[in-house]
């Protein structure tokens, strides 16, 4: 990506949206909306001082909502361009409230709340659609209880938990445990605030709150309005202290997730949703299980699937290595249900098709290998660009040329066309670039032929 950003023949229009496409192969007119960041890209140094001071905290979409970010943020590390963006939906200043802390903090003077979107028109010879994909929403499968059991996560969420730059710093902390820790932090904040108020009262009356409260409960000071308020504040303080201590005791026993279950084909190879195989899920689960074992050698993983489709070069060997070296067990069987057991542990009920028995097994965390689904908004994009979609809402291509769309001069690559893994996406991207180059350089080639 860094090489692309520096290339003299490549212009990156990040944070932009295609609004209209007209013309034909070799002569397209594309209208692009350059959305404003409210940050001057040429001035921003990416230091992050503004984000550190921003008071508005919102869920971080890049971390699948498992972590937080600020209203001014960098979408992810190493992004190009290396700049920040202000979220207009959550920024206090842009929503009519007094703030502007980021502007006061920025030494480069890159913050500009008056910036507006710009419309850019491009004349291009060919177009390549590489819109990517979305993951299937496992909440549509009620028996897996994705929205009910906190320690049932998607493969993408688990990927962020494994990442050193993720919300847990690479530690496999369970979502249920993280929720308890967050509650402890919130209660500790309340305790500190109430303790400050109590300190002032103790100083005023020259008496510890605990000693005063015993006297108050014994019937003293009942007609003293100031001491009545003191008693109320101390009672509220105790009402926070007691559950806080209980949660701390509970958190003392927390450890990272060591018993992992990976459930394959969640939404794919399923006639209720997507009957096709998503292609990369099996190897992705094996990779995640191996990385989890590297993080914590005591980790054991069970991968539940109808079969493991390791079809690429070296993939079968990788699968076997995972079983031999990373405590991975491959369970042939379809998971029927996930329920919640003691300590928020998911219990997986499945049919072991080798032994022809229904079994149940308890895990610390369950990871759902969700299907590769068409990206949200693909129908609107296809209409704007002028291409057709197939019955699954992927971009329709020729059976003889899998990068050619239904419109000449417009090509597609990656999961916008169909589910595929990284090597296949890269190969298809090279093919699409070659086809686009044929269109873009066709006038020059015809001139050369005419001269010859």
Residues 190 and 145 both lie in one domain = no
Residues 267 and 167 both lie in one domain = yes
Is 444 exposed, middle or buried (CB count within 10 Å of its CB: 0-12, 13-18, 19+)? exposed
Between CA 51 and CA 84 the distance in angstroms is 9
Among 123-137, 149-163, 204-218, 362-376, which stretch is predicted with the lowest mean pLDDT?
204-218
Residues 389 and 440 both lie in one domain = yes
Between CA 139 and CA 145 the distance in angstroms is 7
Residues 223 and 236 both lie in one domain = yes
Between CA 258 and CA 299 the distance in angstroms is 4
Domain boundary among 221, 251, 281: 251
Question: Which pLDDT tens digit goes with each residue over 417-432?
Answer: 999 999 999 999 999 9
Residue 14: pLDDT over 80: yes
Q: Provide the pairing of β-strand 72-73 with 300-305.
A: unpaired
pLDDT at 398: 87
CATH of the domain at 81: 3.30.70.20
Domain boundary among 195, 227, 251: 251
Q: Which residues of 271-302 are buried (b: 16+ CB within 10 A; e: fewer)?
A: eebbeebbbbbbbbbbbbbbbbbeeeeebbbb
- Mean pLDDT for 398-411 is 92
Residue 435: pLDDT over 90: yes
Strands, DSSP E only, in 286-381? 300-305, 328-332, 335-340, 346-352, 357-362, 365-370, 372-374
- The CB-side HSE value for 72 (13 A sphere, CA atoms) comes to 32
Question: Which pLDDT tens digit goes with each residue over 63-82?
Answer: 999 999 999 999 887 788 88
Residues 288 and 330 both lie in one domain = yes
| 8 Å CB contact between 338 and 366 | yes
Residues 273 and 365 both lie in one domain = yes
pLDDT at 222: 77
Residue 14 lies in a domain: no
Domain boundary among 373, 408, 425: 373
Considering the chain, what percentage of its residues have pLDDT values greater than 70?
97
| 8 Å CB contact between 264 and 303 | yes
Residue 311 — very low, low, confident or very high, per pLDDT cuts 50/70/90? confident
DSSP 8-state secondary structure symbol assigned to residue 68: E
CATH of the domain at 390: 3.50.50.60
Question: Which pLDDT tens digit goes with each residue over 250-279?
Answer: 999 899 999 999 999 999 999 999 999 999
pLDDT at 450: 64
- The CB-side HSE value for 275 (13 A sphere, CA atoms) comes to 3
Residues 381 and 233 both lie in one domain = no
Residue 391 lies in a domain: yes
Between CA 406 and CA 385 the distance in angstroms is 11
Residue 20 lies in a domain: no
Residues 287 and 368 both lie in one domain = yes
- Mean pLDDT for 322-332 is 96
Domain count across the chain: 4
Residues 315 and 362 both lie in one domain = yes
Between CA 425 and CA 128 the distance in angstroms is 13
- The CB-side HSE value for 14 (13 A sphere, CA atoms) comes to 14
* Mean pLDDT across the chain: 92
Residue 303: pLDDT over 90: yes
Over its C-alpha atoms, the chain yields an Rg (Å, rounded) of: 29
| 8 Å CB contact between 131 and 381 | yes
- Mean pLDDT for 93-103 is 93
- Mean pLDDT for 119-133 is 95
Residue 445 — very low, low, confident or very high, per pLDDT cuts 50/70/90? low
pLDDT at 193: 93
Residue 127 lies in a domain: no
- Mean pLDDT for 11-37 is 94
- The CB-side HSE value for 315 (13 A sphere, CA atoms) comes to 16
- Mean pLDDT for 243-247 is 93
pLDDT at 315: 93
Domain around 392 = 375-451
Residues 271 and 299 both lie in one domain = yes
Among 98-102, 222-226, 243-247, which stretch is predicted with the lowest mean pLDDT?
222-226
Between CA 372 and CA 131 the distance in angstroms is 13
Residue 448: pLDDT over 90: no
Tokens found for residue 262: 């990976």
pLDDT at 446: 67
Among 35-44, 113-122, 347-356, 436-445, which stretch is predicted with the lowest mean pLDDT?
436-445
- Mean pLDDT for 19-45 is 94
Residue 394 lies in a domain: yes
Residue 180: pLDDT over 70: yes
Residue 206: pLDDT over 70: yes
Residue 8 lies in a domain: no
pLDDT at 265: 95
Residue 440 — very low, low, confident or very high, per pLDDT cuts 50/70/90? confident
Task: Kindly report each contact of residues 84-90 with a partner whose C-beta sits within 8 Å and lies 24 or more positions away, as own/partner.
Answer: 84/37, 84/39, 84/44, 84/46, 84/48, 84/50, 84/51, 84/110, 85/15, 85/37, 85/38, 85/39, 86/37, 86/38, 86/39, 86/111, 86/113, 87/58, 88/38, 90/56, 90/58
Helix (H) or strand (E) holding 21: strand 16-24
pLDDT at 75: 87
């Amino acid at each position: 990506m860094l090489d692309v950003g520096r290339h003299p023949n490549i212009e990156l229009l990040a944070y932009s949206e295609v609004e209209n496409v007209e013309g034909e192969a070799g002569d397209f007119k594309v209208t692009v909306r350059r959305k404003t960041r409210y940050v001057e890209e040429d001035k921003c140094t990416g230091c992050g001082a503004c984000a550190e001071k921003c008071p508005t905290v919102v869920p971080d979409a890049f971390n699948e909502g498992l972590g937080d970010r600020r209203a001014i943020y960098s979408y992810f590390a190493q992004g190009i361009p290396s700049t920040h963006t202000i979220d207009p939906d959550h920024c206090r200043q842009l929503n009519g409230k007094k703030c502007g802390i980021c502007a006061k903090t920025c030494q480069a003077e890159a913050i500009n709340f008056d910036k507006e979107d710009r419309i850019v028109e491009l004349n291009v010879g060919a177009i390549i659609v590489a819109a990517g994909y979305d993951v299937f929403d496992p909440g549509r499968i009620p028996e897996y209880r994705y929205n009910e059991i906190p320690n049932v996560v998607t493969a993408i969420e688990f990927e962020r938990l494994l990442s050193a730059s993720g919300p847990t710093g690479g530690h496999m902390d369970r979502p249920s445990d993280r929720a308890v820790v967050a509650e402890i932090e919130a209660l500790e904040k309340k305790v500190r605030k109430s303790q400050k108020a109590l300190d002032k009262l103790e100083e005023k009356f020259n008496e510890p709150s605990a000693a005063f409260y015993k006297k108050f409960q014994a019937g003293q000071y009942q007609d003293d309005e100031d001491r009545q308020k003191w008693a109320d504040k101390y009672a509220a303080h105790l009402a926070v202290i007691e559950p806080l201590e209980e949660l701390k005791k509970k958190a003392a026993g927390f450890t990272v997730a060591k018993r992992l279950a990976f459930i394959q084909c969640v939404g794919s190879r399923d006639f209720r949703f997507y009957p096709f195989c998503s292609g990369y899920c099996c190897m992705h689960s094996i990779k995640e299980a191996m990385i989890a074992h590297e993080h914590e050698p005591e980790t054991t993983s069970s991968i539940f699937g109808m079969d493991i489709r390791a079809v690429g070069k070296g993939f079968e060997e990788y699968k076997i290595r995972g079983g031999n070296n990373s405590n991975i067990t491959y369970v042939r069987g379809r998971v029927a249900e996930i329920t919640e057991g003691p300590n928020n542990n998911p219990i997986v009920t499945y049919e072991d098709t080798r032994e022809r028995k229904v079994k149940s097994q308890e895990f610390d965390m369950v990871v759902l290998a969700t299907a590769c689904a068409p990206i949200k908004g693909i129908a609107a994009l296809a209409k704007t660009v002028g291409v057709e979609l197939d019955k699954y809402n992927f971009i329709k291509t020729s059976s003889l040329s899998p990068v050619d769309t239904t419109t000449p001069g417009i090509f597609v690559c990656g999961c916008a066309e169909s589910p595929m893994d990284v090597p296949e996406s890269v190969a298809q991207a090279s093919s699409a670039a070659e086809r686009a180059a044929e269109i873009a350089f066709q006038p020059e080639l015809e001139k050369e032929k005419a001269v010859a």
